[in-house]
C-alpha cells in the first residue's frame, strides 16, 4: 500500500511547531527484584568488531555479553541465489523486516566436485557470505550438515561421489567419518574466522546434522553426533553447538536451555505436478500459508517458550542445475515471505511485526506460564504468560476456526472484546512499560516500543478493518492530539482510551503530551500493509524510524544529516523520526526537502517517484539444431569409459552376471547419461527389456541402430508418492521383425536420472542406483559390451551441479560464444514429432536503468498435452528444467548477475521430446516479475564461453577449455584390473 498524497500533505502542514529533536532510549525493567539475569535491553546489533564476546544461556533465552537475546532468524540458501552480490539484497531485506539472524546451510555437494577437493570461490564463497552478514548486522546460525535433508537438496546435500564410496552415512562408520572430517574441517577453517566469540564475525550458533532420524538417545546415534561435536571443537569452533532437536551439545548441558525451533515452517516445498499446491504452484502455497498462518505458528512457538526461532525458509530461491532433491522442481520459492524473485510479499508482515516487537520489548525474553485465562467464546484459545521481573502480562490468542471470533477475556485486565481473524493469532499485553508511560491494555498487537529524539514512540498493528483500542494508565490527564482524521480518544478515571480503525487512511498518529510524563509520546497505528512501510533502524546515535518507502536498506549519520538508502516501487512520501541533532535527510544520495511535523518527524515536501517502466525485448532470431548423434549406429564411442564393473557400493543389487550399469559408479552423478551396448546378431530377439532407477520424473529413451524403440517416463507423483525419492521400472520394447538381422548392432539408451534420494531413513538411500540397472533380450540372450558417457568434468565457475551429459552440453552448445551460424533459423511453435533432443539458441540485449532493480523471468507456455521437457541455459548457466505436461512451473527466475541487465545475453534451450506428440516450445518470452528504484550494486557472474576454462577435478587446476583433460576412471574398479583413463572431450 503506497502512501497517499493526502497523508503527507496533511503532515507537512503540521510543521509549524518546529519541535527541536533530541534522543535517548532504553526500556525500563520494572521494580521487581530480578532473579538471575534480569529483564533489560538486548545486546546491540552484532558486527565484526574485533572484541571478545560471551555467549551463554539459561532456560529463558540466549545470553550475549550478559544480556538477554531472543534470536529471530530467517533462513536463506546462498547456493540457491548464484549471484553473490545479491546475497546482500536478501540479507538487508531480512534485517529490515525484523530478523536479527540468518540461518545458513552449507551443502557439501555444492562445494566438493571430488573426494578431498573443496571449492569456496565464486558462487560458493562462504567467506564472502559470512562477511556480508556481519556487515548487515545479522547473527549467523551456521549449518554445515554434513546431511541437509530439510533443504531439499540432491542426496540431502551429500556429494555425488559419496554414492560410490564405502561406509554407511550418518553413522560412526570410520570410512564415512573420514570424508566427513575433511568436509567439516574445510568449512570450519572459514567459520572460525567469523566467530562472534572472537569478534571476527557474527557466527553465533552452529548446528550439526539435520533432521530427527539420528537421535542422541540411541547409542549409535550418540556416537555419531559426539564425533561431529568433537570435530567442531577440535577445529576451534567455540560458539554453542546444537542438534536439530534443539539440544545444545549432544545430550544437552545438564541444565535447562531455552526453547529452540530450528525449522519453523515458512511455507512448503511443492513436488513435480504440484501435489502440495493442487497443481497451481507456489502462488497457491503462499495463499494457503499466508501471514495469518505464519502468525499462528510463530506466536504459538513464543507461548511454548521458543526464544531461538528460525523460519525455514524466509527466502527460498532457485534450485538451478541439478541441485534439487528429486521430488521438487526448479523453483524453490517455497511460498516464502520473500519470493524467488527477491520481492517482499505480504507474508513478511508476521515476520516483521514479531521481530521488531521482540527486539524492542525485552519483557518477552523472559516469560513464565501464568494463571489460566479462558475466553468467553471457547473457539478462542488463550495462552497467558508473565514476565517475573516487570510484571508485564502477555496473552497469545489463537483462532483455529474458519471465521473471525470476538470475545471478552475475563480476568485478563482487558475490559473490551477482542477479535482474532479466521485461522489467525494475536499477541496482546497488559502492564507493559511504553517509554515513560504504562500500557493498561490493548486489543492491537504491539510492534515497536522505542525512543527517538524527544519522543517515546509505540506502534500497534492489526488487520485492515479491525478497530484498535489502547488504554494508557494516566493519573493526570495529558494533552492528547490526533494528528490524522481516524483516531478517537477519551479520558476517564485515570485512563486514556484511544480507538483507531485500521487500514482506513494509512498510518494513524496520536500525540500525547504532559500528564504523568514530561516526554511526549507518539502512538502509531497501522494495518499490515501500512506496517510493511515502517522501518526501525538503530544507529550509533540512537534509533531512527522511517515511514513510506518500500524498503529501508541502510542509514548513515554524518553531521546533521541522515543519509537513507532504500527502495521505492510506487510513488510515495517519506517521514523520518531521527535522533537528536539531525535536521536534514537524503534519499539514495539526493537531498530531500522536509518540514518538522507535530509528531516530531521530518516530513518530505511532495512525493518520491516510483520505479520507471521496464521494457523487455521479444525473443527472436532463434536458431536450431537436432542432436543425439549417440543414438546412431556409426557414432564413435571409443573414448567413452567401458561399463564393465562387477560390484558396487550402491544399495541397488547388481544383476546376476552383471555388469554394473549404475551411472554413479562411473563418476557420472548429475544430468543425462548415455549408454551404448554393442552386440552381434538380433535374429530371434523379439524385444528388449530395460530396467532403470531414477529420481522423480526420470525418463528413458532407447534406439536400436539409430531407430527409435520408444520412451518410458516415471509417473507423476500424487500426494501419497510425492516424497518418494527413488523410482524403478522395467519397460519392454518390441523389436520389429524386419530389424532382426545378422551382424553387429548398437543399442543406445539415454537416461535422465534426475536426482538422488535423501537419507531420511539413515539407510543410505542416496546410494540407490541412477541410470540403467539391467538389460535383457526376450527370445534369445545376447552378450553386450557397454560404454557409458555423462557430464564432462565440471568447470571451476559453475561447479559440479551445472552440467549434464547431453551431446550439446559436452560440445558447448549452451555457452556464450559458440558459433551457431550454421544452424538453421527456426520459429516457435515447433511441430516436429521426433524422439530425442533438439537445441535452440538466441541472444537478447537488456537496457535496464542503472538505478532500477528489475527481477526478470523466462516464461514457457504450450498445450499441456505436448510431452516434452526443456533444460534452460542462460549464459552457460543451467537455470532449471521445464516439463510441459507435468508442471506446475512455467516461469523461471533469471538472477541478475548471471543475467546481464545492461548487456547481451545468450539463451539456449535443450528440448527433449518422446516423439508421441509435437514437440515445443510454443511461447518463450521474458517476464518482468517486479521492479524497484534502488537495489544493491550487482556484479557480473562469470559465464565461461568456448574460450573459458574448466575445472579438472583430478588435478585441482584450471585447464584451457580446448585442451584434453585426462580424468581418473572410477575409483573402484573390479579387482585386479589396472585403472584406466578416459578422455572427456568438449568445453562443457
DSSP state of 923: E
pLDDT at 946: 53
* Whether the predicted pLDDT of 979 surpasses 50: no
* Whether the predicted pLDDT of 986 surpasses 80: no
pLDDT at 505: 86
The whole-number average pLDDT for the span 925-941 is: 98
The whole-number average pLDDT for the span 348-359 is: 98
| Phi, psi at 64, each rounded to 5° | -115, 115
From the list 15, 5, 20, 8, the residue with the least C-alpha distance to 575 is 8
Whether pTM exceeds 0.85: yes
Q: What percent of the chain has pLDDT over 90?
A: 87
Q: Give tens-digit pLDDT for 470-509.
A: 999 999 999 999 999 999 999 999 999 999 999 988 999 9
pLDDT at 832: 85
The whole-number average pLDDT for the span 802-810 is: 97
Kindly indicate the confidence band of residue 169, based on its pLDDT and cuts at 50, 70 and 90. Answer: very high
pLDDT at 217: 87
Q: Give tens-digit pLDDT for 434-467.
A: 999 999 999 999 999 999 999 999 999 999 999 9
Kindly indicate the confidence band of residue 872, based on its pLDDT and cuts at 50, 70 and 90. Answer: very high
The C-alpha atoms of residue 796 and residue 803 are separated, in whole angstroms, by 12
Q: Give tens-digit pLDDT for 604-640.
A: 999 999 999 999 999 999 999 999 999 999 999 999 9
From the list 804, 24, 895, the residue with the least C-alpha distance to 457 is 24
pLDDT at 254: 58
From the list 820, 827, 841, the residue with the least C-alpha distance to 906 is 841
Contact 454, 517 (CB under 8 A): no
pLDDT at 223: 95
Weakest-pLDDT range from 52-56, 489-493, 784-788, 970-974: 970-974
Rg of the chain in Å (alpha carbons): 31
| Phi, psi at 625, each rounded to 5° | -155, 135
Weakest-pLDDT range from 119-123, 346-350, 529-533, 918-922: 918-922
Provide the mean pLDDT of the chain: 91
pLDDT at 251: 64
pLDDT at 5: 37
The C-alpha atoms of residue 273 and residue 888 are separated, in whole angstroms, by 6
* Whether the predicted pLDDT of 981 surpasses 70: no
Contact 431, 442 (CB under 8 A): no
pLDDT at 216: 87
Residue with the three cell numbers 496482546: 428
Q: Give tens-digit pLDDT for 84-115.
A: 999 999 999 999 999 999 999 999 999 999 99
Q: Give tens-digit pLDDT for 515-558.
A: 999 999 999 999 999 999 999 999 999 999 999 999 999 999 99
pLDDT at 26: 29
> Distances from the Cα of 248 to the Cαs of 57, 151, 217, 483, 913, in angstroms?
10, 21, 14, 50, 51
* Whether the predicted pLDDT of 21 surpasses 70: no
Could you please report the per-residue DSSP string of 700-735? EEEEETTEEEEEEEPPPP-TTTTT---EEEEEEEE-
Strand order in the sheet with 368-369: 368-369, 380-386, 393-399, 424-430
Kindly indicate the confidence band of residue 30, based on its pLDDT and cuts at 50, 70 and 90. Answer: very low
Contact 165, 202 (CB under 8 A): no
pLDDT at 969: 37
Biggest alpha carbon–alpha carbon distance for the chain: 108
pLDDT at 945: 72
Q: What percent of the chain has pLDDT over 70?
A: 91
Start-to-end CA span in the chain (Å): 47
Q: Which residue has the higher pLDDT, 681 or 347?
A: 347
Q: Which residue has the higher pLDDT, 903 or 979?
A: 903
DSSP state of 66: T
Kindly indicate the confidence band of residue 951, based on its pLDDT and cuts at 50, 70 and 90. Answer: very low
Kindly indicate the confidence band of residue 829, based on its pLDDT and cuts at 50, 70 and 90. Answer: confident
Question: Is the CA virtual torsion 65, 71, 77, 82 positive or negative?
Answer: negative
Q: Give tens-digit pLDDT for 376-431.
A: 999 999 999 999 999 999 999 999 999 999 999 999 999 999 999 999 999 999 99
- The three grid cell numbers given for residue 262, joined into one nine-digit string: 530450528
- The three grid cell numbers given for residue 342, joined into one nine-digit string: 527477491
Q: Give tens-digit pLDDT for 222-266.
A: 999 999 999 999 999 999 999 988 888 876 555 688 999 999 999
The C-alpha atoms of residue 684 and residue 983 are separated, in whole angstroms, by 36
Could you please report the per-residue DSSP string of 320-352? -TT-B-TTB-SB--TT-SB-TTS-B-TTHHHHH
pLDDT at 212: 85
Contact 423, 549 (CB under 8 A): no
- The three grid cell numbers given for residue 768, joined into one nine-digit string: 540407490
- The three grid cell numbers given for residue 727, joined into one nine-digit string: 523410482
Kindly indicate the confidence band of residue 17, based on its pLDDT and cuts at 50, 70 and 90. Answer: very low
Amino acid at each position: 500500500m503506497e502512501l497517499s498524497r493526502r497523508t503527507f500533505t496533511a503532515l507537512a502542514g503540521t510543521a509549524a511547531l518546529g519541535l527541536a529533536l533530541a534522543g535517548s532510549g532504553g526500556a525500563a525493567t520494572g521494580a521487581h527484584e530480578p532473579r538471575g539475569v534480569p529483564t533489560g535491553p538486548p545486546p546491540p546489533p552484532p558486527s565484526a568488531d574485533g572484541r571478545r564476546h560471551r555467549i551463554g544461556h539459561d532456560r529463558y533465552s540466549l545470553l550475549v555479553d550478559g544480556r538477554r537475546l531472543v534470536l529471530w532468524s530467517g533462513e536463506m540458501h546462498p547456493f540457491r541465489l548464484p549471484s553473490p552480490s545479491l546475497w546482500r539484497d536478501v540479507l538487508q531485506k531480512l534485517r529490515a523486516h525484523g530478523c536479527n539472524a540468518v540461518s545458513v546451510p552449507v551443502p557439501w555437494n555444492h562445494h566438493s566436485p571430488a573426494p578431498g577437493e573443496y571449492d569456496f570461490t565464486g558462487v560458493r564463497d562462504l567467506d564472502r557470505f559470512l562477511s556480508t552478514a556481519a556487515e548487515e548486522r545479522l547473527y549467523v546460525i551456521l549449518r554445515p550438515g554434513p546431511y541437509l535433508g530439510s533443504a531439499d537438496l540432491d542426496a540431502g546435500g551429500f556429494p555425488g561421489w559419496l554414492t560410490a564410496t564405502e561406509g554407511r552415512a550418518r553413522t560412526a562408520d570410520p570410512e564415512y567419518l573420514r570424508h566427513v572430517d575433511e568436509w567439516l574441517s574445510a568449512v570450519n577453517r572459514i567459520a572460525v574466522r567469523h566467530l562472534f566469540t572472537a569478534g571476527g564475525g557474527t557466527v553465533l550458533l552452529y548446528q550439526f546434522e539435520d533432521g530427527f532420524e539420528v537421535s542422541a538417545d540411541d547409542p549409535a546415534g550418540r556416537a555419531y553426533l559426539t564425533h561431529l561435536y568433537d570435530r567442531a571443537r577440535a577445529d576451534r569452533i567455540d560458539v554453542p553447538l546444537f542438534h536439530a532437536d534443539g539440544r545444545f551439545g549432544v545430550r544437552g548441558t545438564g541444565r535447562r536451555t531455552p526453547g529452540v525451533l530450528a525449522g519453523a515452517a515458512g511455507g512448503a516445498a511443492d513436488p513435480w505436478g504440484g501435489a502440495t499446491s493442487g497443481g497451481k504452484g507456489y502462488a497457491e502455497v503462499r495463499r494457503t500459508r499466508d501471514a495469518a498462518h505464519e502468525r499462528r505458528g510463530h506466536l504459538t512457538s513464543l507461548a511454548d517458550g521458543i526464544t531461538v526461532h528460525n523460519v525455514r525458509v524466509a527466502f527460498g530461491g532457485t534450485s538451478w542445475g541439478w541441485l534439487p532433491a528429486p521430488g521438487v522442481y526448479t523453483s524453490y520459492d517455497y511460498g516464502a515471505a520473500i519470493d524467488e524473485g527477491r520481492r517482499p510479499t505480504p507474508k513478511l508482515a508476521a515476520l516483521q511485526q514479531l521481530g521488531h516487537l521482540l527486539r524492542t520489548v525485552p519483557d518477552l525474553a523472559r516469560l513464565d506460564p501464568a494463571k489460566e485465562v479462558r475466553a468467553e467464546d471457547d473457539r478462542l484459545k488463550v495462552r497467558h504468560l508473565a514476565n517475573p521481573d516487570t510484571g508485564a502480562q502477555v496473552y497469545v490468542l489463537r483462532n483455529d476456526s474458519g471465521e473471525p471470533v470476538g470475545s471478552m477475556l475475563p480476568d485478563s485486565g482487558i475490559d473490551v472484546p477482542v477479535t482474532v481473524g479466521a485461522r489467525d493469532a494475536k499477541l496482546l499485553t497488559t502492564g507493559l512499560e511504553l517509554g515513560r508511560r504504562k500500557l493498561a491494555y490493548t486489543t492491537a498487537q504491539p510492534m515497536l516500543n522505542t525512543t527517538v529524539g524527544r519522543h517515546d514512540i509505540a506502534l500497534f498493528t492489526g488487520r485492515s478493518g479491525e478497530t484498535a483500542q489502547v488504554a494508557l494508565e494516566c493519573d493526570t490527564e495529558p494533552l492528547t492530539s490526533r494528528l490524522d482524521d481516524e483516531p478517537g480518544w477519551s479520558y476517564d478515571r485515570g485512563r486514556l482510551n484511544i480507538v483507531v480503525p485500521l487500514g482506513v487512511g494509512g498510518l494513524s498518529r496520536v500525540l500525547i503530551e504532559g500528564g504523568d510524563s514530561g516526554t511526549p509520546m507518539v502512538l502509531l497505528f497501522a494495518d499490515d500493509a501500512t506496517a510493511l512501510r515502517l522501518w526501525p533502524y538503530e544507529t550509533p546515535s540512537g534509533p531512527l524510524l522511517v515511514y513510506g518507502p518500500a524498503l529501508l536498506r541502510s542509514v548513515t549519520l554524518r553531521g546533521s544529516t541522515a543519509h537513507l538508502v532504500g527502495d521505492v516501487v510506487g510513488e510515495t512520501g517519506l517521514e523520518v523520526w531521527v535522533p537528536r541533532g539531525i535536521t536534514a535527510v537524503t534519499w539514495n544520495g539526493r537531498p530531500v526537502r522536509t518540514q518538522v511535523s507535530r509528531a516530531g518527524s521530518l516530513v518530505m515536501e511532495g512525493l518520491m517517484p516510483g520505479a520507471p517502466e521496464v521494457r523487455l525485448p521479444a525473443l527472436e532470431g532463434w536458431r536450431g539444431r537436432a542432436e543425439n548423434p549417440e543414438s546412431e549406429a556409426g557414432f564413435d564411442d571409443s573414448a567413452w569409459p567401458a561399463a564393465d564393473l562387477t560390484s558396487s557400493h550402491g544399495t541397488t543389487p547388481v544383476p546376476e552376471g552383471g555388469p554394473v550399469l549404475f551411472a554413479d559408479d562411473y563418476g557420472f552423478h548429475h544430468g543425462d547419461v548415455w549408454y551404448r551396448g554393442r552386440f552381434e546378431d538380433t535374429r530371434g530377439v523379439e524385444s528388449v527389456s530395460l530396467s532403470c532407477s531414477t529420481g522423480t520424473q526420470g525418463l528413458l529413451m532407447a534406439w536400436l541402430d539409430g531407430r527409435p524403440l520408444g520412451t518410458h517416463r516415471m509417473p507423476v507423483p500424487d500426494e501419497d508418492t510425492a516424497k518418494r525419492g527413488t523410482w524403478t521400472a522395467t519397460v519392454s520394447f518390441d523389436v520389429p521383425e524386419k530389424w532382426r538381422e545378422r551382424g553387429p548392432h548398437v543399442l543406445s539408451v539415454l537416461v535422465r536420472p534426475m536426482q538422488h534420494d535423501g537419507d531420511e531413513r539413515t539407510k543410505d538411500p542416496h546410494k540407490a542406483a541412477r541410470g540403467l540397472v539391467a538389460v535383457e533380450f526376450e527370445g534369445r540372450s545376447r552378450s553386450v559390451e557397454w560404454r557409458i558417457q555423462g557430464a564432462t568434468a565440471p568447470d571451476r565457475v559453475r561447479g559440479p551441479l551445472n552440467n549434464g551429459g547431453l551431446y550439446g552440453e559436452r560440445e558447448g552448445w549452451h555457452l556464450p560464444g559458440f558459433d551457431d551460424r550454421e544452424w538453421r533459423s527456426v520459429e516457435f511453435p515447433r511441430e516436429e514429432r521426433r524422439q530425442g533432443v533438439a537445441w535452440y539458441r538466441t541472444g537478447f540485449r537488456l537496457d535496464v536503468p542503472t538505478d532500477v532493480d528489475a527481477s526478470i523471468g523466462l516464461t514457457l507456455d504450450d498445450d499441456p498435452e505436448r510431452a516434452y521437457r526443456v533444460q534452460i541455459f542462460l549464459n552457460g548457466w543451467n537455470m532449471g528444467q521445464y516439463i510441459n505436461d507435468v508442471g506446475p512451473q512455467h516461469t523461471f527466475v533469471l538472477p541478475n548477475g548471471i543475467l546481464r541487465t545492461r548487456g547481451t545475453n545468450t539463451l539456449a534451450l535443450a528440448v527433449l521430446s518422446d516423439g508421441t506428440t509435437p514437440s515445443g516450445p510454443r511461447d518463450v518470452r521474458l517476464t518482468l516479475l517486479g521492479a524497484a528504484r534502488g537495489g544493491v550494486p550487482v556484479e557480473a557472474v562469470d559465464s565461461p564461453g568456448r574460450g573459458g576454462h574448466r575445472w579438472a577435478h583430478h588435478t585441482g587446476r584450471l585447464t584451457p577449455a580446448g585442451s584434453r583433460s585426462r580424468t581418473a576412471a572410477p575409483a573402484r574398479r573390479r579387482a585386479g584390473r589396472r585403472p584406466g583413463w578416459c578422455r572427456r572431450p568438449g568445453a562443457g
